Amino acid sequence: MSQLLEIKDLVAGVEGKSILKGLSLSVGKGEVHVILGPNGSGKSTLMNVIMGHPKYEVTGGSIAFEGEDIADLKTFERAKKGLFLSFQTPEEIPGITVENMLRTAKQAITGEKVKIVPFRRQLKALMEELKMKPEYAERYLNVGFSGGEKKRTEILQLLMLNPKLAMLDETDSGLDVDAVQIVSEGVAKFHNEENSCLIITHNTRILEKLKVDKVHVLMNGEIVEEGGPELIEEINSQGFTHILDRHSEGK
Amino acid sequence: MAEEFSPKKKTYVEDIERTLYDIRDEDRSAYKTHSGLTKDIILDISKRKHDPEWMTEFRLKALETYNSMPLPTWGPDISELNMDEIVTYVQPDAKMTGNWQEVPEDIKNTFDRLGIPEAEQKQSLAGVGAQYDSEVVYHSIQEDLVKQGVIYTDMETALWEHGDIVREYFMTLVPPKDHKFTALHGAVWSGGSFVYVPEGVHVEIPLQSYFRLNAAGAGQFEHTLIIVEKDASLHFIEGCSAPKYNVTNLHAGCVELFVKEGARLRYSTIENWSRNMMNLNTKRAIVEKDGIIEWVSGSFGSHVSCLYPCSILHGENARCEFTGVTFASKGQNLDTGASVIHAAPHTSANINTRTISKAGGAATYRSAVKVTRNAPFAKCSVNCESLMLDSESRSDTLPVMDIEGDEADIGHEAKIGRISDEAIFYLTSRGIDEEEARAMIVRGFVEPIAKELPLEYAVEMNNLVNIELEGTMG
């Protein structure tokens, strides 16, 4: 199967310190992948590096998207290619409304002028599905939003911008049961055969409505194990140490 | 830092598009005094302006005060200002009229370019005053306002036609001895606006006065006196600009606002003086019981500005809302802010400002809040935020609070910062390019203020932020 995202031997870090130490990972079109790993193993760094955060320096390996090397592209260019990152802690940006940001982003990504009436109709319908009050469209982006509202706003953006690859960085963390439900329904609504998801989570509830194709276990900047959804169960019951032990023995 | 995003390029918000303002007319004044400040010059101005006797005396006394006072010892450096080189009175070659056709063509063209007659025609203004150098050349007011007893005229006309009112209020709120430049103002003032809104009258559409200084090396000293009587309301807009010269121009205007019981006054100012202007302006409002003063203040121009509109909350429940934006670029030192005196119980004030500095410009936010013993349950909240667009620019915040009484509720929040890299990353991760992301953040920063500005001016301010270019510096 053709790979949507293909990462080979990626070495990246910040201020001369390597965080990702030769990591390889591939996501095929239409697939749902989950990344598990203990805190500090490099999961968020991986997503930031894929998105092109200028803070991180890539010193080795390659990142290809739809067969094209994107390592030298700027963040906005990667977004235009179809990458999307749902942030673990979304930024608060005063003075820019949710609607204004989304309209500008949609225009930038499609390269076409956004027609205001259908845009608003779509926005309103999606906000309803995500159980967001309509006035949030006019609020400044994430300013004064609760944790759950911020995450729902991320999913709103995901659905409005409709990327090819959705990277979700702990979109379910810090949410109550109902909010996780709403968010996971949103992700399920987004996902189809034409797009892919790469999900970081400590929680399995967000995955309930999705068919997980592959699980990667990331520890200390490397993928130490890969497998099917059964790995999630195993880690949930036995923890990461168990995997690490097995990994060390294997060496 | 932002440089990490594009090491070879550097984004900057262009200076304010000034072309419109920088068109100068040929100097065709009818009369100019000698430069400098002497008793003879004051007498000459007074005679030419046909002052009543009390005003001539007032001017001479103010001159004495001026001569006896030192320069202020705080604030930006104004040592470049040499009063011996300033021409304090420039009479335009035009008589005041209520018909644009009678205004000399080049002067009319200037106001056309600024869009004043157009706004008037569209009836988005209920009255217009236009001052050119030292005198008002055009004045109008809608008939129905006149019928309701509203007075809107130039100060010179008011001196004769409404002399009693003027004499009762003129420079009582801002006395000449306040500081050296109010003393100067008292001695040489010319032009400006007089507004009187009778009890219970609501002026629904704004009045606007525009002040244009065309003569090089001259000063403008207009006086604005507004009285809003009990339960009346008014929105007054003041705009000012000047073309750029290589010599120093001086603006030392004075604004006195009397807001009576239950009255409401919104005073909006957009100042876009050229970069050779020393703008040493004094504005003050006194607000009686249940009255409201709302200041909306945009400072974009001038070389040096000192501007701190003051609100004296004199009656119970009096309120002040101050909203200000200051944009300092290359060669500018803009020292702006507000001052509030709580002098009665349950008075409240909100001060909300944004300042931007770029290309080596310096912006200082300075405020003074005083709560006297007579003001139990006073409430004041100050929120001042500054954004520096590059590392050469400066931003300072100097808030002073003097709380004498107990039971005051005072809040203060100050932020000085640069555009956050994480905010840029967030927006660019949504497909928005870096230039646009920066422009959006800057626009967003001033948005709470922009939405308070009169529409035409808000558009103008957005335009200036939109002129975000890819620079080649860096």
At A62-105, the pLDDT tens digits run 999 999 999 999 999 999 999 999 999 999 999 999 999 999 99
- Higher-pLDDT residue of B85 and B457 is B85
Is B2's Cβ below 8 Å from some Cβ in A? no
Interchain CB distance below 8 Å, B432 and A104: yes
How does the average pLDDT of chain B come out, rounded?
90
In this predicted structure, the answer to whether residue B452 has a pLDDT above a threshold of 90 is: no
Give the tens place of pLDDT for each residue, A183-202. 999 999 999 999 999 999 88
DSSP state of B85: G
Q: For chain B, first and last CA: distance in Å?
A: 13
Residue B292 pLDDT > 50: yes
pLDDT tens sequence across A140-157: 999 999 999 999 999 999
Cα–Cα nearest to B208, from B461, B20, B455, B460? B455
- Interchain CB distance below 8 Å, B430 and A108: yes
**B305-334 pLDDT per residue, tens:** 999 999 999 999 999 999 999 999 889 999
Q: How many residues does chain B have?
A: 474
Handedness of CA A173, A175, A181, A187 (dihedral sign): negative
Q: Which pLDDT does position B3 carry in this prediction?
A: 35
DSSP states of B201-264:
-B--S-EEEEEE--STTBEE--EEEEEE-TT-EEEEEEEEE----SS-EEE--EEEEEE-TT-E
Taking only the tens place, the pLDDT of each residue in A2-14 is 799 999 999 999 9
Q: Does B365 touch chain A (CB under 8 A)?
A: no
Lowest mean pLDDT among B69-73, B182-186, B376-380, B427-431: B69-73
Q: How far is CA A156 from CA A114, A124, A178, in A?
A: 17, 10, 16
Angle at the Cα of A232 from the Cα atoms of A230 and A236, rounded to 5 degrees: 125
Which chain A residues touch B426 with a CB distance below 8 Å?
Answer: 87, 90-91, 93
Give which of A83, A96, A145, A159 to mutate to test B binding, by max B Cβ within 10 Å.
A96
User: Does domain A3-244 match CATH 3.40.50.360?
Assistant: no
Residue pair A56/A14 in contact by the 8 Å Cβ criterion: yes
Domain boundaries, chain A: 3-244
User: Could you tell me the pLDDT band of residue B19, with boundaries at 50, 70 and 90?
Assistant: low
Confidence of residue B240 (pLDDT cuts 50, 70, 90): confident
Instruction: Tell me whether B31 touches chain A (CB under 8 Å).
Output: no
Q: Which residue is associated with the tokens 């909300």? A: B352
What is the band of B119 on the pLDDT scale with cuts at 50, 70, 90? confident
Q: Could you write out the three-class secondary structure of B213-227?
A: CCCCCEEECCEEEEE
Residues written for chain A? 251
How far A86 CA sits from the closest chain B CA (Å)? 9
For residue B61, list its beta bridge partners: none
User: Is the CB of A140 less than 8 angstroms away from the CB of B444?
Assistant: yes
- Residue B91 near residue B30, CB atoms below 8 Å: yes
Dihedral Cα B113, B118, B124, B130, nearest 10 deg: 60
Backbone region of residue B231 per phi and psi (left: phi > 0; alpha: psi in -120 to 50; beta: other values): left
pLDDT at A250: 54
Span B390-405, mean pLDDT? 91
Work out the mean pLDDT of chain A and round it to a whole number: 93
Residues 424-453 of B with CB under 8 A from A: 425-434, 436-437, 440-441, 443-448
The answer to whether A166 and A86 have CB atoms below 8 angstroms apart is: yes
> Which residue does chain B place closest to A57, by CA atoms?
B4
Say whether pLDDT at A247 is over 80. Answer: no
Decide if A80 and B431 are in contact by the 8 Å CB cutoff.
yes
Out of A79, A93, A104, the one facing B429 most closely (by C-beta) is: A79
All residues at 6 or more sequence positions from B402 whose CB lies less than 8 Å from its CB, including other chains: B368, B369, B370, B371
What are the two backbone dihedrals, phi and then psi, of residue B132, each rounded to the nearest 5 degrees?
Answer: -125, 115
Cα–Cα distance, B200 to B233 (Å, whole number) = 8
Q: For residues B218 and B87, what is the distance between their CA atoms, to the nearest angstrom?
A: 5
Q: Which of A44, A56, A93, A110 to mutate to test the interface with B (most CBs of B within 10 A)?
A: A93
How many contacts, defined by CB atoms under 8 Å, are there between A and B?
84
Contact A95 B436 (CB under 8 A): no
- The token pair that represents B70 in the structure block: 């030192």
Candidates B5, B426, B432; nearest CB to A54: B5
Query: Least CA distance to B385: which residue of chain A?
Result: A94
Joined together, the tokens standing for residue A209 give: 């409505």
Task: Give the pLDDT confidence score for residue B451 in this predicted structure.
Answer: 84
Going by pLDDT thresholds of 50, 70 and 90, the confidence category of residue B448 is confident
Is-contact A33 A197, C-beta < 8 A? yes
Percent of chain B with pLDDT over 90: 70
Q: Does A76 touch chain B (CB under 8 A)?
A: yes
- Tokens (6 digits) for B52: 């009543």
Q: Do A101 and B427 touch (CB under 8 A)?
A: yes
Question: Whose CA is closest to B318, among B403, B382, B259?
Answer: B259
Q: Identify the helix (H) or strand (E) that includes residue A110.
A: helix A98-110
